[in-house]
Amino acid sequence: MTVPAFDELTAALSDALQREWDEESLAVLNADHDACLGLAIAHGVRHGWLATPLPDDAMACLASAHQFVQQLDRAGDV
């Protein structure tokens, strides 16, 4: 799996979260716990709410979120 640069990753995750939300899809809420937190953290980074660099456990959540979004992409959901 290719891991994009941090800014690119958080922007992509935040966009994916926003699209899911706009479509009133509950898929995000069915994501595993870490992926769910990763999406929230990505959104916080994108909006300048969180100081960076993030700690390792938060980065691991971003990785889970990335994996989740890729699965949604493959399923044609996002």
Partner 1 sequence: MNVITDPVLSRIREHDIDLHDRIVAAISELSPAAAELACAYEHASPQLMRRYQAGALEARLSLAGRPDLPAEVAEVLARDDSEQVRAELARNQATTDRTLALLATDSDAWVKRAVHRHPNASEETKAAVALTTAPEELKPAAPHVNVYLDPATPSEQLRDYAAAAIEGDPSMAGNLRYLLRNPSLPDDVIPELLPAAASLADWTSLWERGRPTRPSRLWPSTLAFTMPNTPPWVRESLTKAGHPAGLITLGARVAPSTGSAPEALMQLVDSELLIRALWRELALRGVVELHYWNDEFEGDKFFPSRGNDESLMDPHGPIQFIVGGWAEHREWIEREDWLTLDTIYRVASFHMEDVVEHLDPELTDVSVDTFAVIGIAHATEEQGMKLTLTPEGERAFEQHAKNLSFESNDYMTTVTVTGSALPSIGYADTSTEQKLALAQLLLDSRVDPRIDMWGIANHFLMCLAWHPDTSEPVLDLLRAEGER
Q: How far is the CB of 58 from partner 1 (least distance, A)?
A: 5
Q: Looking only at residues 9 through 68 of this chain, which bind partner 1 when binding is defined by CB under 8 A? A: 17-18, 21, 26, 29, 33, 36-37, 39-41, 43-44, 47-51, 54-55, 57-58, 61
How far is CA 2 from its chain centroid?
15
Prior bond of 55 cis (ω within 30°)? no
Q: How does DSSP assign 2-35, residue by residue?
A: ----HHHHHHHHHHHHHHHHHTT-SHHHHS-HHH
Q: Which residues bind partner 1 (CB under 8 A)?
A: 17-18, 21, 26, 29, 33, 36-37, 39-41, 43-44, 47-51, 54-55, 57-58, 61
